[in-house]
Amino acid sequence: MQYLIMCRSLTWAQRSAALLERSGITASVVKAPQGLSTSGCGYAISIYRRFEEARNLLAKNNMINGKIFKRTDTGEYQEIG
């Protein structure tokens, strides 16, 4: 299952992904699907495994500042946080 954590800028997404990678959690910076970004910046962190651990680590480091989406089985994105 894919999760997207929206970021306020490309730099913020890169820093967040690097933090996760240093902790052994695979994450990549992606261009957000059209329609998910309302703040103007269209970058997100994509995570497929260990989502709860990743979200907790980012929250602990005050690095979550956007919406969080989960990709459903139909390919649509559902906001979860």
- Tell me the residue type at 70: K
Residue 21's domain is classified under what CATH number? 3.30.70.1530
Q: Percent of the chain having pLDDT more than 90?
A: 78
What global pTM score does this model have? 0.88
Identify whether 55 is part of a domain. Answer: yes
What is the arithmetic mean of pLDDT over 52-67?
94
Number of domains in the chain: 1
Instruction: Say what the pLDDT of residue 42 is.
Output: 86
Q: Percent of the chain having pLDDT more than 70?
A: 94
CA distance 13 to 19: 10
Secondary structure percentages of the chain, helix, strand, coil, to 5: 30, 25, 45
Place of tokens 């989406």: 69
DSSP, collapsed to helix, strand or coil, labels residue 10 as helix
Q: Mean of the per-residue pLDDT values for the chain?
A: 92
Instruction: Say what the pLDDT of residue 50 is.
Output: 96
Identify whether 78 is part of a domain. Answer: no
CA distance 36 to 24: 27
Parent domain of 13: 3-72
R_g of the chain, CA atoms, integer Å: 11
Instruction: Say what the pLDDT of residue 33 is.
Output: 85
Identify whether 38 is part of a domain. Answer: yes
